[in-house]
Amino acid sequence: MSDPFTPEERSAVMRRVPAKGSSAEMKVRKALTALGVRYRLHRKNLPGSPDIVMPGRKLALFVHGCFWHGHDCRRGARPPKANADYWAGKIGRNRVRDTRVQAELLASDWRPEVLWECELKDAAALTERLKEMLGR
């Protein structure tokens, strides 16, 4: 199946996908604030510009969308019907970049952690996961 959008329409759709401040990221930020944790956002001086950074803990959080980063959950594993070759390549490149960025952070004595969009539906489980990451 070919892409139902023209290149201009597809570009407009993609521009509306937020790179920062997504609803998933906002859920994590809200949970951290409720735990009384202070953090910084999108540190450009770190590999991959992590979504949420806690410099004192050397903890870098990435809030990944399941589709965009090829998670193995139901949503992430569902192949797109339109323009499938393009999306398979795009998601594959994202996964390679994610692996490289995490290795660079580890080499710099940072602890990278990934929170997947599908994990954020259960607020209590998210809070517990964050507590584990924070060592509480």
The CATH class given to the 7-134 domain equals: alpha beta
Are 98 and 112 a contacting pair, CB within 8 Å?
Answer: no
The type of residue at 6 is: T
Write down the domain spans for the chain.
7-134
Regions of the chain where pLDDT drops below 50: none
Residues in contact with 105: Cβ distance below 8 Å, sequence separation at least 6, in sequence order = 46, 47, 48, 50, 60, 111, 112
Q: Per residue in 58-72, pLDDT tens?
A: 999 999 999 889 999
The answer to whether the pTM exceeds 0.95 is no
Residues with Cβ < 8 Å from 117, sequence gap 6 or more? 24, 63, 64, 65, 66, 71, 75
What pLDDT shows up at residue 2? 60
Amino acid (1-letter code) at residue 44: K
